[in-house]
Amino acid sequence: MTKGYWIAHNDVHDMEVYKTYLAGAAEPFARFGAKFLARGGQYTAPEGQIPARNIIIEFPSYQAALDCYNSPEYQAASVFRKQASTGQIIIMDGVA
C-alpha cells in the first residue's frame, strides 16, 4: 500500500482565524496518522507563482488522506481555513 499525501499552498490573510483552523484540524490529523513533512518555512519557487505557505502532509495511505479530508471534524475546521486564507489542496497517492 502506498502512502497518501496532501500538498497544500495557502496565502493566510487572517492568522487569528487560521489558528482556529489549526486547533480544529489537530484531532483529525492525529486520528488519520498525518505526519507533517513540510509546513511553512523557507522555499524557492523557480517557476510559477506560489502562495506564501506551503505544506506537505504524509498519511499512512491514500484512503487515510481522503478520509481525513472528508471527516466531519476536518470539514468543520476547514471553514476557518477558507475564511482565513486562499489556496488549494491536492490529495495524491505516493509512488509504489
pLDDT at 37: 97
Question: CATH no. for residue 16?
Answer: 3.30.70.100
Domain count along the chain = 1
Q: Contact 90/7 with Cβ under 8 angstroms?
A: yes
Q: What 3-state DSSP class applies to 86?
A: strand
pLDDT at 8: 95
Range of the domain at 34: 4-42+51-93
What is the pTM assigned to this prediction?
0.92
Q: Which helix (H) or strand (E) holds 90?
A: strand 85-93
Per DSSP, 51 falls in state -
- pLDDT by 10s per residue, the chain, length 96: 899 999 999 999 999 999 999 999 999 999 999 999 999 888 888 998 888 899 999 999 999 999 999 999 999 999 999 999 999 999 999 987
> Residue 86's beta-bridge partner residues?
11
Q: With CA atoms as reference, report the closest residue to 74 among 84, 83, 63, 65.
A: 65
